Structure 1
């Protein structure tokens, strides 16, 4: 539950993927809820399942979220800016 800034999430964003991650320090800095993915409360299985089902039921939203992830990772986490 204390992740730091996870490389796996940054890599997913860099390849243009929406993100589903836990609302803990480090992870929460990578997602704007509803924009490029979803944050779920730690240890909240119901909320995690709800957002997983949302992704299954809303594939048409993936492209927009994926594009937002790519833009966010370039703007916020580019190695030359960090």
Structure 2
């Protein structure tokens, strides 16, 4: 869940322009192939969408993804306040 949260955070910060795989990989500290695998899962869940421009595939968070990320952050904060790890 933490990795998915990191990816959603990066795509949210990318805005409507989207974020390329290498940028997600650097910011989430994951390999290129791990990012692609996790992004496919997020796409299938409707939390992220992808677009292709001339040279790159870009990932953007969806409205559903924004709502999920907000709830996820609330959950993380609750766990931290209780000194629990996930």
The two structures share one fold, judged by TM-score above 0.5: no
Larger strand fraction of residues? 2
What interval of TM-score do these two structures reach, taking the shorter chain for normalisation? Answer: 0.3 to 0.5
If the length of structure 2 is used for normalisation, what is the TM-score?
0.34
Larger helix fraction of residues? 2
If the length of structure 1 is used for normalisation, what is the TM-score?
0.35
